[in-house]
């Protein structure tokens, strides 16, 4: 049912690099106003959180003044945004404005003896994360010849079944559906199913 489509608010993405000669075209004011609106805050509330005056905030957002660094610090701290992110250009490694859908069961499958990985977003190259759904066939730690170990970090969420995550330096830990783990992938790791049937987990790797 549903949807007629509501008209969507338009807001153009500034393409970033202007002509090199002049200084940054970074619109700090607009950026801050957007953040504040996303948080559903009024100037008064933001003022209380940051310790800056309403008027000052207004002027900063309207780019009538250039805030001092201490002001920026108060802003970032009060609104809980980190400064690098605030100044980062709205650019991404992934070609801007892309998206990809993977319907259930339609990822590309990579079966091994211990796991069956279903890669979920293969179409997009150069992305920061690699997500896949994995059927865990391994039943004991001996199923591995050695630790799996690679650059980056991993996030793991159990979807079905019961698993044990073996990691170097730690005792193995058992996980139920809904439990999640986050760990450094340089640390050796391996996953086994504890129940009769295969377990199903979501895995996301960031390099």
Q: Which does 140 bind (CB under 5 to 8 A by kind): a copy of itself, DNA, none?
A: a copy of itself
- Angle at which helix 43-50 crosses helix 54-61, to 10 degrees, equals 110
Site for DNA in 109-138 (CB under 7 A): none
Q: Looking at residues 97 to 156 of the shown chain, list those that interact with a copy of itself (rule: CB under 8 A).
A: 97-105, 112, 120-121, 124, 127-129, 131, 139-142, 145-153, 155
Is the Cβ–Cβ distance between 121 and 99 less than 8 Å? no
The Cα-based distances of 149 to 42, 114, 154, 183, 189 in angstroms read: 48, 16, 11, 11, 7
Beta-bridge mates of residue 189: 148, 167
Q: Which residues contact 186 (CB under 8 A, 6 or more apart)?
A: 149, 150, 151, 152
Binding mask 25-64 for DNA (x = CB under 7 A): -----------------xxx------xxxxxx-xxxxx-x
Nearest distance from residue 71's CB to DNA, in Å?
Answer: 3
- From the CB of 23, what's the least distance to DNA, in Å? 13
Contacting positions for DNA (CB under 7 A):
42-44, 51-56, 58-62, 64-68, 70-71
């Amino acid at each position: 049912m549903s949807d007629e489509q509501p008209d969507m608010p338009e807001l153009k993405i500034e393409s970033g690099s202007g002509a090199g000669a002049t200084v940054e075209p970074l619109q700090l004011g607009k950026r801050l106003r957007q953040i504040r609106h996303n948080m559903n805050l009024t100037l008064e509330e933001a003022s209380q959180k940051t310790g800056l005056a309403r008027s000052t905030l207004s002027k900063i957002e309207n780019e009538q003044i250039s805030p001092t660094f201490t002001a920026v610090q108060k802003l970032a701290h009060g609104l809980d945004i980190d400064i690098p992110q605030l100044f980062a250009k709205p650019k991404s490694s992934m070609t801007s404005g892309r998206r990809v859908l993977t319907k259930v069961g339609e990822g590309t499958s990579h079966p091994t003896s211990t796991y069956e990985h279903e890669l979920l977003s293969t179409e997009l190259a150069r992305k920061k994360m690699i997500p896949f759904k994995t059927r865990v066939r391994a039943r004991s730690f001996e199923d591995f010849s050695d630790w799996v170990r690679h650059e980056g970090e991993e996030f793991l969420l159990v979807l079905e079944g019961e698993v044990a995550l073996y990691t170097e330096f730690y005792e193995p830990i058992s996980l139920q559906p809904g439990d999640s783990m986050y760990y450094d992938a340089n640390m050796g790791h391996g996953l086994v199913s504890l129940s009769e049937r295969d377990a199903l987990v979501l895995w996301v790797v960031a390099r």
